[in-house]
Amino acid sequence: MSSLFAIISTVFKYIFITIIYLFIFGIMRMIFLDIRKIQTPRPKGIPKDVSYLQLLTDRSGLYFEVEPAYPLEGDEIVIGRGTKCDISIDDLYMSTQHVRLWFDEGEWYISDLASTNGTYINGIKMTDDPLILDNGDRIKIGQLEFLVVLV
């Protein structure tokens, strides 16, 4: 009887260890797929050492012209509908000066410039406080959504 108990105990021990290994493998696979999803091919014309905003919105349904990506060059960038903006996009849902991005102490920051329709980071509307941007963040400005790609 005790030998039957030892056999069953050993079988359950190996089943339990197998389940733990499958769980760990599943977690590692999810992490790998998530990281791979963030790594988009670099658009043409943007140097390898420059961070950029990758357009996620389908351009075919838009009534205005927009680039597939915008490099984050310089210490400060203003995005809006106005012609004096660093990145000027003729989107009627975008304010004249909609959002400001700036580079300080190794980090990119973003601040909404009291825009009418607001700015959304990863689906959450920004408050008056500036935020630090992370690689893979999604910025929604007007009708457009961008992926932040930091180097």
Q: Smallest Cα–Cα separation from 96: which of 128, 141, 46, 138?
A: 141
Q: Can you name the residues that pair with 100 across neighbouring β-strands?
A: 78, 111
Backbone angles phi, psi at 107, to 5 degrees: -125, 145
- Which class in CATH covers the domain with range 52-149? mainly beta
pLDDT tens for each residue of the chain, 151 residues long:
678 888 999 999 999 999 999 999 999 988 887 776 666 677 888 888 899 999 999 888 889 999 999 999 999 999 999 999 999 999 999 999 999 999 999 999 999 999 999 999 999 999 999 999 999 999 999 999 999 999 8
pLDDT the model gives residue 3: 85
Question: CA 64, 55, 89 angle in degrees (round to 5)?
Answer: 35
Q: Can you name the residues that pair with 140 across neighbouring β-strands?
A: 120, 145
Q: Where are the domains of the chain?
A: 1-39, 52-149
